[in-house]
Chains A and B, each alone.
Chain A
Amino acid sequence: MTTNGEEAEALRRPPSLPRPPRTGDFLGKHRLSAAISRLNQEIQYLEEELNELEKMAPSSAACMEVCLSTEGKSDALLPETPGPENPAWHRWFQRVRSSHSRKWWTHKGSSDIS
């Protein structure tokens, strides 16, 4: 003996022919396939990177290069620097007359701007 619910369920069951795919299903499959392809591509890149790390030098080698690269280079913003000192570095503290006003920039060593 079936309950009312089971009878309703039997009526709702589709006929034996297969249902045609809905548009939503098609788009869902397409997007999923594309996403899976991208993930597989990323898996390949990550595995390549893991292999690379097997032969990679540790960070100390690069740290040494960083320290060496800053040496011997003339740097206008450092209190102590290898030469040559470029006279143009001083232009920011030399007197410059602006044609719009009579302002004169200050001498080196002062932090006031008149």
Chain B
Amino acid sequence: MSVAELKERHIAATATVNSLRERLKQRRQLLLDTDVAGYAKSQGRSAISFSPTDLVCCRILQGHTGKVYSLDWAPERNRIVSASQDGRLIVWNALTSQKTHAIKLQCPWVRTCAFGPNGQSVACGGLDSACSIFNLNSQVERDGNIPVSRVLTGHKGYVYSCQYVPDQETHLITSSGDQTCVLWDVTTGQRISVFGGEFPSGHTADVLSVSINSSNSKMFVSGSCDTTARLWDTRIASRAVRTYHGHQGDVNTVKFFPDGQRFGTGSDDGTCRLYDMRTGHQLQVYSKQHNGDDNDIPIVTSIAFSISGRLLFAGYSSGDCYVWDTLVAEVVLNLGTVHNSHESRISCIGLSSDGSALCTGSWDKNLKIWAFGGHRRVI
């Protein structure tokens, strides 16, 4: 077949793909008979009512000398690992505010960090395109630093996100600027599976975030600069289970909803969305009206759900941290305007394992812990 004939076939196939995508979009629209807020309000639900001093900043973790990019709580309740532009990982006891470890990284351009399931190791990755593992119980070297116990190499682009598979200290998932996610065996340093890349259903741009389903750790979602989120089954690397459309900009953050059947996303388009994992339906858009021109819409950098899922915490480039009532899709509190709020972009958010505290990390170099300090009614 000649090049000219192949080119014609390529054009025809591309046109077919575009037409099918448009038909899918229209069919899906017809199936959206309501969103979560529409349904909740029809059931008589009203927004959660917070007093302005209900959620208070009860700790400020100071010590980084650069922007905080990432944080992760340990599985037991009080410790946090954070990664910063200052080229360090710090492990904190959030209850006492003390630093238990400060790890100076060989590659200072770190973007992500994660705590291992048994609380004894931490992982980080960044612009070195690798993921480094540290055992917190290792003997420190002469310079006071903890040695690297393993480096996971193989990505052909920056590592933007990493997460240990729950209850599997030896397995970790990373996402990268090379458009793939990888499942690693930490003990051997080998790649177990590569998700995306050559295969047609993979992401077509940098993959910025991952979230593993804690109800079924074989499933994870990824968010990408290609404006989609994708669901993967770790047993089937050759194709994404489903692709979720809707966002109009980079998907910076993804997080599973506590019931394990839905997940939330946050994007450069300034919105958060809730998707149904199984059907692919976009169930809700969380979007605030902005005054001023469209070029100034703050982007969503990070999200977390409260333990019941009733609250969605979203961090923005403006320094705001909106607390959304997930069901009625209204902002019920803004941690960006209360006493002791961050002074700059919120880059990362995480909920403690017992759901009693939220940690926010910011470009103002601090981490803050928020907890409910008001009068609680137990029903």
Residue positions of A touching B, CB distance < 8 A: 25, 28-29, 32-33, 35-36, 38-43, 45-47, 49-50, 53, 56-60, 62-67, 69-70, 73-86, 88-89, 91-93, 96, 98-100, 105-106, 108-113
Contacts and interface: CB of A to CB of B under 8 A. Distances in A.
Contact of B354 (A41, A82, A89, A105): A89
Nearest to A106: B58
Given A46-B21, A53-B31, A75-B306, A62 B58 contact: no
Contacts of B56: 110-111
24 contacts: A32-B6, A41-B201, A45-B239, A50-B20, A57-B31, A58-B31, A58-B33, A63-B283, A66-B327, A70-B309, A70-B326, A76-B357, A79-B374, A82-B378, A85-B378, A88-B77, A88-B354, A91-B95, A93-B58, A93-B373, A99-B96, A109-B53, A111-B56, A113-B57
Given A39-B13, A69-B259, A70-B326, A53 B24 contact: yes
B147 interface: no
Contacts of A62: 261-262, 276, 278-279, 281, 283
A67 B20 contact: no
B14 interface: yes
Interface in B195-241: 200-201, 239
A79 B54 contact: yes
A59 B39 CA distance: 10
B56 to A, nearest CB: 4
A86 B356 contact: yes
B371 A76 contact: yes
Contact of A109 (B16, B27, B374): B374
A82 B307 CA distance: 12
B378 A105 contact: no
A61 B56 CA distance: 36
Nearest to A32: B6
Nearest to A47: B20
Q: Tell me which of B16, B308, B338, B355 has the highest count of chain A C-beta atoms within 10 A of its own C-beta.
A: B308
Interface stretch (B42-50, B64-72, B83-91, B118-126): B42-50
B34 A59 contact: yes
Q: Tell me which of A43, A67, A89, A93 has the highest count of chain B C-beta atoms within 10 A of its own C-beta.
A: A67
Contacts of A106: 58
Interface of B: 1, 3, 6-7, 9-10, 13-14, 16-17, 20-21, 23-24, 27-28, 31-36, 38-40, 43, 45, 48-51, 53-60, 77, 95-98, 200-201, 239, 257-259, 261-262, 274, 276, 278-284, 306-311, 326-327, 338-340, 354-358, 369, 371-379
Contacts of B258: 69, 73
Contact of B39 (A45, A50, A63): A63
List 9 tightest A-B contacts by C-beta distance, closest first. Answer: A73-B308, A39-B13, A75-B308, A63-B39, A92-B371, A76-B356, A46-B20, A69-B259, A32-B6
A108 B373 contact: yes
B32 A58 contact: yes
Contacts of A69: 257-259, 261, 309
A109 B96 CA distance: 19
A78 B50 CA distance: 8
A96 B369 CA distance: 15
A66 B34 contact: no
Contacts of B38: 63
B376 A81 contact: yes
A92 B32 contact: no
A35 B98 CA distance: 55
A1 B338 CA distance: 91
Contacts of A93: 58, 371, 373
Contacts of B24: 46, 49-50, 53
B49 A77 contact: no
A92 B376 CA distance: 15
Nearest to B7: A32
Contact of A66 (B36, B53, B357, B376): B36
